Amino acid sequence: MFAASKIQRRAFTASARNLSKVTVLGAAGGIGQPLSLLLKLNPRVTELALYDIRGSPGVGADISHVNTKSSVKGYDASPEGLAAALKGSEVVLIPAGVPRKPGMTRDDLFNTNASIVRDLAKAAAKHSPEASLLIIANPVNSTVPIVAEVFKNAGVYNPKKLFGVTTLDVVRASRFVSEIKDTDPKDENITVVGGHSGVTIVPLFSQSSHPDLSSDAELVKRVQFGGDEVVKAKDGAGSATLSMAMAGARMADSVLRAAQGEKGVIEPTFVESPLYKDQGVDFFSSQVELGPNGVETIHPIGPVDAAEEKLIEACLGDLKKNIEKGVAFVAANPGN
């Protein structure tokens, strides 16, 4: 108890002084590079720590020439480099891991990415246990529970500080709707709930200003499988990186704004959630109000129509399996 409140006080003090170290693990990758650049442009970030198993000193040197006030360092690929990148961090973003190729599902990435995320989570539990962790690496439905299990094993799990980044799904939904309705995407606020893969992604158009769109099966499918569009177009060269960097930078900014005292900051994000716990689904993405200590309020789903009810039902079955797979992985492979 005492340790937790001391940690919270320290984090709050740094935030109140508006000193925010942000760390990117996987900083030299397709997402990591543009994400790091966007974070360098964010005045709320005062120190940017970049880590990767290859190339982060170069990315750090490059970004450090951008003329904004924050300091930037690309750390060596070593346990010491990783520890230093994490130490004192307020927000840690994890895009480290392999992306999909055409024909793969996100779950096909599990075998490679589960151990990458587990090992980075172990380092974070040791060196930055109080940080907000923003998990981008896929399959998010499983990597977030993996991080939770690692933090539980280390005795430092705080469910208010663990976020699966599902922002890209709402970014896409608002963009796709604006194309159909000829509106400005910034005025489109589409709630997307569930998880982050295929049918676990559930847009709730009935709650938007275009309730008619909930029966547009093609649009619903486009939101659910938007990632596949990019994977196909990149034709073997990976998946969404630039739009994902924008979405990740937006999520990090929201976490920092809330940490610095801004009220009413709401983002959809995949968190440990009470909403479907009675059905054995411990993590779920819905609208979450953020505060100085991370998750402040998890909003209920709200009214949905019959079509959306069916989508949620389909979502829960897959999501439960994805979550259980992550939990089982750490139980069987706790790592060194």
Ligand X SMILES: NC(=O)C1=CN([C@@H]2O[C@H](COP(=O)(O)OP(=O)(O)OC[C@H]3O[C@@H](n4cnc5c(N)ncnc54)[C@H](O)[C@@H]3O)[C@@H](O)[C@H]2O)C=CC1
Ligand Y SMILES: O=C([O-])CC(=O)C(=O)O
Positions annotated as catalytic residues are 196
Candidates 1-9, 21-29, 223-231, 253-261 — which segment interacts with ligand Y by CB under 6 A? 223-231
Q: Is 100 assigned a ligand-binding role in the annotation?
A: yes
Candidates 125-133, 142-150, 226-234, 276-284 — which segment interacts with ligand Y by CB under 6 A? 226-234
Query: Beta 201-203 vs 132-135: how paired, if at all?
Result: unpaired
Q: Does 165 bind ligand X (CB under 6 A)?
A: yes
Candidate residues 133, 240, 281, 319; the one interacting with ligand Y per rule CB under 6 A: 240
Interaction partner, residue 231 (ligand X, ligand Y, none; CB < 5-8 Å by kind)? ligand Y
Q: Looking at beta carbons only, is 231 or 330 nearer to ligand Y? A: 231
- 53-87 burial, b at 16+ Cβ within 10 Å, e below that, comes to eebbbebbebbeeeeeebebbbbeeeeebbebbbe
Beta partners for 203? 192
Residue type, 111: N
Site for ligand X in 88-147 (CB under 6 A): 95-100, 109, 113, 116, 120, 136-138, 140
- 269-307 burial, b at 16+ Cβ within 10 Å, e below that, comes to bbbbbebbeeeebbbbbbbbebbebbbbebeebeebeee
Q: Does 168 bind ligand Y (CB under 6 A)?
A: yes
Q: Does 165 bind ligand Y (CB under 6 A)?
A: no
Candidate residues 15, 21, 22, 30; the one interacting with ligand X per rule CB under 6 A: 30
Q: Does 203 bind ligand Y (CB under 6 A)?
A: no
Smallest gap, in angstroms, from Cβ of residue 167 to ligand Y?
10
- What residue ranges in the chain does DSSP mark as E strands? 21-25, 47-51, 71-74, 91-94, 132-135, 162-164, 192-194, 201-203, 265-272, 283-291, 294-298
Return d(Cα 161, Cα 90) in angstroms, integer. 10
Q: Does 227 bind ligand Y (CB under 6 A)?
A: yes
Nearest to 157 by CA among 34, 313, 23, 3: 3
> Which residue has the closest beta carbon to ligand X?
29
Site for ligand Y in 34-93 (CB under 6 A): none
Candidate residues 116, 230, 271, 295; the one interacting with ligand Y per rule CB under 6 A: 230
Annotated binding-site residues for substrate read: 100, 106, 138, 172
